């Protein structure tokens, strides 16, 4: 946990911004696997963590702005539960650690809110993403789930506050990245032909766990890097293939790391692999070098796309004017998604609060129609203190090629004949995390090998 | 998966027993961690697995008994999703593997049920344990969540069917136990002073994952074996302590193993530890030898308790007549919980369907008041084909001792002075899994070292 003062002052700031009514923040409950009491590892809600720092299921908090009062609602263990679960720090004690002095039994929350509603005070709450909290909110507020109406004012206030990372948060994210880098180095050490993808994923998860870190998201460890959301990990690795490893750790406090490296199953890249890799790396460097306060991330994305196109033209897969190609979204045959996203207490930071608030603004709204841009999670102007990922890639997706070619889509920019020679190439992504500084950016966490030479030098120590 | 015929004949049997109306079976959805799309590993509902064998989120099935029709509702991937997630076996194909020939889009389910409700046919459904399915049922049936009314007829039919394990299910459970035994042997190999409990838990989870198995429940790996539901694993192991390891694997098809061993952090038990261990082992053997069709598991539990009491009298912690002590529940100062539970597709098999149906019957209802018995999950008469755990233990819980001693509770049976000499002893549990055979029982899975001599011989190969 951070200092009690940290949580208190975060809440004080939130109160000033929201300025009236009651703020209701729900923690998470345990999530059942195959029956109620067989549960997944507990993950606290990130906003609750941000304002209270308490990792404990079945809590809720009220911030009564007019009365300047903060109350945490939760049930202390009964003697029966102490027999079963052992003595633990009480909720009262935990609350004290974040300067909350008033704790009440969870059952009091319902009455409390009834009175608030009678007094016609506004209850500000965030959009629930877990079904258990949808039901809880519906019961607490006497509103149908379908009629729940989260507070835009609260959402915007939370997003504004959580978007600018404090120094101590940056330190936490760098801790997550230290473990994440260790995970990636381990993967690069142990990967060899004959292993299954899953074995690499298991090993890096073990390493993270031994460092006290859960994974910040289900890892993508695959020889089919072109499949963007790939949870299948049963392939056996073969020499000549590339392995894409997109994985990161989360600290005990909940801060995420999110790194991707793509490296050969053997000791070296093939010439084709190297060429494509260098295009992605050049796009990565182009994007990274543009990072600074004031630039719209959508523009960074577009520049990264142009760098990809320039490389693909050189390689013969695309043609024509690179700028025009990008304007026509021709690059989306190879790069179907976005360049990056905000990161913090969530790997896609605050995704539960809505992309329109986190990655965009009313003045810079999201393009929700155009293939490619509709998958760009972050488009808005960057500010000092934003933490984000930069993760360009080239993904050769046979189904998509066939679809486009059947329409002869954008054939002035795409050389389909050449593209088809690459149809089993797979995919490459390179991803690091950055914080925006007063005039540019800073890499977060330790440097992790990135050039083909660095990777080959490292790999050749372990495989032949 | 088992053969398509297996699933078809299981459903046919269910239809015959339920005999009228519509059976609605819901699969599970993905469970969000900190935002909707950051999800826990998917776990299918066990009953859905039992009747369909399909591991895929967002499915539901209808069995229309009168019309002899089975329909699975689920959405095939769109082209957009194929681009993102890769080509996968279709739901149609998966359904075909369990002899379901009719698949409809998920959105058709709502209309389907509306018509059923209009026709005033009974819709039989099971009690939902996940909030997402509570909401789904509420929406599908136009009923408030609080007014949902699961079908006792369906529950009883499912419980009766799933309680008697088929030969092929026993084989699956033995697979789960093969991995579970490997996990326990690994723990006994690597445990040494200076390690953290968590490191042992991480290592066994890694081993299970490499064998393609998730854990069937959050593992309990602790030097505080007396804490029955202990998820804290941050203690550093010290020579002289005992480590209790309660963990098991689940096969890809969902069948569980559930084993507990308690062994010294050093190579040998202390004399006191050996004495208490042997009491638990004797209780275990007593209970196991009683297993056979027709005996009430509550009686087995009571006999196991009496064996504990006899040992504790010999050790000086209890006194008086053992039978009387058990009748007065004096043993519950040391053994606060139940002797075992049903096991199968769930580690606590069918716990979601209700203990009153799974572990008890109307004629043999549960004692829900008496400390000790109220935690006995299984009390009913055993039948051939039941799979269950036997897991006696001795747990020295300081808080409970203080509570009882303050009331001078059952002091004719308890020697509090002697008990207090043991107050920091910790806890010991020994647990194996059995299937009930026509005239007795059979151990499931490979034999796993159990006597103090076996454990010491094994441990002394790895620690000194």
Q: Do B34 and A145 lie within an 8 Å CB cutoff?
A: no
The answer on A343 and A377 residing in a single domain is yes
Q: B250 to chain A, minimum CA–CA distance in Å? A: 12
The answer on A303 and A325 residing in a single domain is yes
From B202, B209, B351, residue closest to A37, measured CB to CB: B351
Classify residue B406: in a domain, yes or no. yes
From A41, A88, A230, residue closest to B86, measured CB to CB: A230
From B40, B134, B336, residue closest to A31, measured CB to CB: B40
Classify residue B426: in a domain, yes or no. yes
The phi, psi pair for A236, rounded to 5°, reads -95, 130
The answer on B266 and B376 residing in a single domain is yes
Classify the C-alpha dihedral A398-A404-A408-A412 as positive or negative: negative
From B31, B79, B205, residue closest to A40, measured CB to CB: B31
B438 close contact with A: CB closer than 8 A: no
Question: Beta partners for B244?
Answer: B222, B262
First to last CA, chain A: 45
Classify residue A241: in a domain, yes or no. yes
The answer on A407 and A312 residing in a single domain is yes
Contact A63, A10 (CB under 8 A): no
Residue A458's pLDDT is 98
From A79, A205, A403, residue closest to B403, measured CB to CB: A79
Quote the CA–CA distance of A390 and A297 in Å, as a whole number.
10
The percent of residues above 70 in pLDDT, for chain A, comes to 100
Surface-to-core class of residue A445, CB atoms within 10 Å of its CB (0-12 exposed, 13-18 middle, 19+ buried) = buried
Residue B230's pLDDT is 77
Residue A79's pLDDT is 80
The answer on B223 and B149 residing in a single domain is no
Residue of B nearest to A353 (CA): B35
Domain boundary residue, one of B162, B179, B210: B162
The phi, psi pair for B375, rounded to 5°, reads -105, 10
> Could you tell me the residue range of the domain that residue B395 belongs to?
167-459
Quote the CA–CA distance of A32 and B42 in Å, as a whole number.
11
A45 close contact with B: CB closer than 8 A: yes
Residue A82's pLDDT is 83
The answer on A354 and A236 residing in a single domain is yes
The answer on A223 and A149 residing in a single domain is no
Which residues in chain A have their CB less than 8 angstroms from residue B86's CB?
Answer: 224, 227, 230, 232
Residue of A nearest to B332 (CA): A83
Q: B389 to chain A, minimum CA–CA distance in Å? A: 16
Residue B232's pLDDT is 85
Q: Do A399 and B228 lie within an 8 Å CB cutoff?
A: no
The answer on A264 and A191 residing in a single domain is yes
The answer on A287 and A150 residing in a single domain is no
Classify the C-alpha dihedral B85-B87-B89-B92 as positive or negative: positive
Q: Which of residues 101-160 of A touch B (CB under 8 A)?
A: 129-132, 134-135, 145
ipTM, 2 dp: 0.97
Classify residue A411: in a domain, yes or no. yes
Q: B205 to chain A, minimum CA–CA distance in Å? A: 8
Chain B interface, best mutation among A27, A32, A34, A183, by max B CB count within 10 A: A34
The answer on B216 and B147 residing in a single domain is no
From A32, A210, A224, residue closest to B199, measured CB to CB: A210
Domain boundary residue, one of A134, A162, A190: A162
Write the CATH number for A284. Answer: 3.90.230.10
pLDDT tens string A370-379: 999 999 999 9
A87 pLDDT band (50/70/90 cuts)?
confident
- The closest of B6, B27, B157 to B103, measured between CA atoms, is B27
Q: Name, in order, each residue with C-beta under 8 angstroms of B105's C-beta and a sequence gap of 6 or more.
A: B73, B74, B75, B76
Q: Do A83 and B336 lie within an 8 Å CB cutoff?
A: yes
Residue of B nearest to A334 (CA): B83
Q: Name, in order, each residue with C-beta under 8 angstroms of B229's C-beta and a sequence gap of 6 or more.
A: A84, A85, B220
Size of interface A-B (CB pairs under 8 A): 145
From A38, A86, A202, residue closest to B347, measured CB to CB: A38
Q: A145 to chain B, minimum CA–CA distance in Å? A: 9
Q: Do B352 and A35 lie within an 8 Å CB cutoff?
A: yes
Classify residue A104: in a domain, yes or no. yes
The pTM for the full model equals: 0.97
Q: Which value, to the nearest 10 degrees, does the dihedral of the CA atoms of residues B165, B171, B172, B175 take? A: 140
A140 pLDDT band (50/70/90 cuts)?
very high
- Tens-digit pLDDT string for chain B (464 aa): 999 999 999 999 999 999 999 999 999 999 999 999 999 999 999 999 999 999 999 999 999 999 999 999 999 998 888 878 888 899 999 999 999 989 999 999 999 999 999 999 999 999 999 999 999 999 999 999 999 999 999 999 999 999 999 999 999 999 999 999 999 999 999 999 999 999 999 999 999 999 999 999 999 999 999 998 877 899 999 999 999 999 999 999 999 999 999 999 999 999 999 999 999 999 999 999 999 999 999 999 999 999 999 999 999 999 999 999 999 999 999 999 999 999 999 999 999 999 999 999 999 899 999 999 999 999 999 999 999 999 999 999 999 999 999 999 999 999 999 999 999 999 999 999 999 999 999 999 999 999 999 999 999 999 98
Which residues in chain B have their CB less than 8 angstroms from residue A228's CB?
Answer: 83-85
Residue B79's pLDDT is 80
Please compute the mean of the pLDDT values over residues A398-412 and round it to a whole number. 96
Residue B44's pLDDT is 98
Residue A183's pLDDT is 98
Residue of A nearest to B233 (CA): A212
User: Taking 90 as the threshold, does the pLDDT of residue A299 lie above it?
Assistant: yes
Which residues in chain B have their CB less than 8 angstroms from residue A34's CB?
Answer: 43, 45-46, 254, 345-346, 352
First to last CA, chain B: 45
Q: A39 to chain B, minimum CA–CA distance in Å? A: 7
Q: Do B34 and A41 lie within an 8 Å CB cutoff?
A: no
Residue B83's pLDDT is 79
From A31, A254, A397, residue closest to B83, measured CB to CB: A397
Write the CATH number for A78. Answer: 3.40.350.10
**DSSP conformation letters of B228-274:** SS-----PBP-TT-EEEEEE-BB-TT--B--EEEEEESSSS--HHHH
Residue of A nearest to B333 (CA): A83
From B33, B131, B346, residue closest to A131, measured CB to CB: B131
Please compute the mean of the pLDDT values over residues A228-256 and round it to a whole number. 94
Please compute the mean of the pLDDT values over residues A234-242 and round it to a whole number. 96
Q: Do A86 and B227 lie within an 8 Å CB cutoff?
A: yes
Residue A388's pLDDT is 98
Contact B426, B396 (CB under 8 A): yes
Classify residue A464: in a domain, yes or no. no
Quote the CA–CA distance of B139 and B24 in Å, as a whole number.
14
B399 close contact with A: CB closer than 8 A: yes
Question: Beta partners for B102?
Answer: B71
Quote the CA–CA distance of A206 and B186 in Å, as a whole number.
15
Contact B361, B407 (CB under 8 A): no
Domain boundary residue, one of B121, B143, B162: B162
Residue B80's pLDDT is 80
User: Taking 80 as the threshold, does the pLDDT of residue A230 lie above it?
Assistant: no
Q: A348 to chain B, minimum CA–CA distance in Å? A: 8
Name the token pair of A70.
Answer: 């903060």
Residue A15's pLDDT is 97
B199 close contact with A: CB closer than 8 A: yes
Classify residue A238: in a domain, yes or no. yes
Q: What's the number of domains chain B is made of? A: 2
Q: Name, in order, each residue with C-beta under 8 angstroms of A116's C-beta and a sequence gap of 6 or more.
A: A22, A123
Q: B82 to chain A, minimum CA–CA distance in Å? A: 8
The answer on B205 and B92 residing in a single domain is no
Give, to the nearest 10 degrees, the angle between helix A271-290 and helix A297-315.
Answer: 160
Classify residue B464: in a domain, yes or no. no
Please compute the mean of the pLDDT values over residues A215-235 and round it to a whole number. 92
Q: Which of residues 24-43 of B touch A (CB under 8 A)?
A: 31-41, 43
Q: To the nearest whole number, what is the mean pLDDT of chain A?
A: 96
- The closest of A256, A249, A343 to A297, measured between CA atoms, is A343
Please compute the mean of the pLDDT values over residues A206-230 and round it to a whole number. 95
The answer on A319 and A243 residing in a single domain is yes
The phi, psi pair for B71, rounded to 5°, reads -130, 135
């Amino acid at each position: 946990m951070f200092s009690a003062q940290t949580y208190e002052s975060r809440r004080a700031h939130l109160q000033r911004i929201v300025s009236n009514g009651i703020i209701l923040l729900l923690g998470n409950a345990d999530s059942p696997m195959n029956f109620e009491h067989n549960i997944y590892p507990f993950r606290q809600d990130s906003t609750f963590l941000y304002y209270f720092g308490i990792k404990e299921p079945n809590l809720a908090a009220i911030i009564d702005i007019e009365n300047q009062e903060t109350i945490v609602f939760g049930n202390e263990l009964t003697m029966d539960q102490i027999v079963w679960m052992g003595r633990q720090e009480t909720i009262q004690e935990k609350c004290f650690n974040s300067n909350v002095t008033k704790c009440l039994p969870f059952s009091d929350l319902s009455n409390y809110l009834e009175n608030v509603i009678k007094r016609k005070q506004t209850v500000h709450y965030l959009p629930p993403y877990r079904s258990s909290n949808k039901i809880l909110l519906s019961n607490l507020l006497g509103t149908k789930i379908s009629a729940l109406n989260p507070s835009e004012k609260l959402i915007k206030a939370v997003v504004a506050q959580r978007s600018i990372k404090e120094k101590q948060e940056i330190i936490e994210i760098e801790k997550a990245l230290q473990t994440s880098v260790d995970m990636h180095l381990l993967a690069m050490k142990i990967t060899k032909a004959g292993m299954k993808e899953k074995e690499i994923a298991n090993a890096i998860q073990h390493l993270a766990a031994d460092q006290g870190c859960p994974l910040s998201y289900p890892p993508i460890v695959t020889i089919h890097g072109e499949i963007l959301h790939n949870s299948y990990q049963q392939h056996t690795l073969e020499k000549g293939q590339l392995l894409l490893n997109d994985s990161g750790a989360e600290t005990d406090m909940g801060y995420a790391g999110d790194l991707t490296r793509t490296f050969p199953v053997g000791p070296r890249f093939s010439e084709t692999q190297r060429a494509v890799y260098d295009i992605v790396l050049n796009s990565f460097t182009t994007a990274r070098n543009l990072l600074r306060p004031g630039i719209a991330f959508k523009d960074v994305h577009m520049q990264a796309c142009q760098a990809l196109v320039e490389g693909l033209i050189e390689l013969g897969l695309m043609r024509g004017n690179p700028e025009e190609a990008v304007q026509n979204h021709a690059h989306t045959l190879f790069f179907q998604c976005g360049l990056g996203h905000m990161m913090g207490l969530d790997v896609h930071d605050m995704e539960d609060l809505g992309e329109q608030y986190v990655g965009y603004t009313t003045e810079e709204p999201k393009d929700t129609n155009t293939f490619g841009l509709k998958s760009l999670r972050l488009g808005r102007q960057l500010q000092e203190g934003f933490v984000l990922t930069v993760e360009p890639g080239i993904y050769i997706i046979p189904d998509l090629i066939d679809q486009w070619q059947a329409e002869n889509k954008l054939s002035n920019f795409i050389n389909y004949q050449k593209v088809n020679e690459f149809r089993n190439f797979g995919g490459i992504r390179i991803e690091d995390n950055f914080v925006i500084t007063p005039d540019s950016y800073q890499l977060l966490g330790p440097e992790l090998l990135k050039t083909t030479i660095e990777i080959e030098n490292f790999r050749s120590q372990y495989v032949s």
